């Protein structure tokens, strides 16, 4: 699944950066070669980094959200 449409970064790209020691989404993007463009992906990218690194407090951002209705 894509995390960042603008840069075509996938979950695996961000997870690999987290496993290599990156702590924040902007740092991961810089290491991948291009910073965030529109910024809509930063919250989800950061949540994924936190999950991979074991910081579960932000896992709620990656859990499925109920549909309105």
* Domains within the chain, CATH numbers bracketed: 2-61 (1.10.10)
Q: Would you report the helix, strand and coil content of the chain in percent, each value rounded to 5?
A: 50, 5, 40
The 10s digit of each residue's pLDDT in 7-53 is: 999 999 999 999 999 999 999 999 999 999 999 999 999 999 999 99
Give the helix/strand (H/E) hosting 52: helix 42-53
3-state class of 46 per DSSP? helix
pLDDT band at residue 55 using 50, 70 and 90 as cut-offs: confident
pTM for the full model? 0.76
Q: Quote the tokens at residue 33.
A: 């070669």
pLDDT given at position 58 = 47
């Amino acid at each position: 699944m894509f995390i960042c449409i603008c840069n075509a970064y996938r979950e695996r790209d961000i997870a690999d950066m987290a496993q290599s020691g990156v702590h924040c989404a902007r740092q991961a993007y810089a290491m991948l070669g291009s910073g965030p463009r529109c910024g809509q992906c930063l919250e989800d990218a950061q949540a994924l980094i936190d999950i991979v690194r074991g910081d579960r407090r932000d896992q709620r951002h990656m859990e499925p959200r109920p549909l309105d209705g």
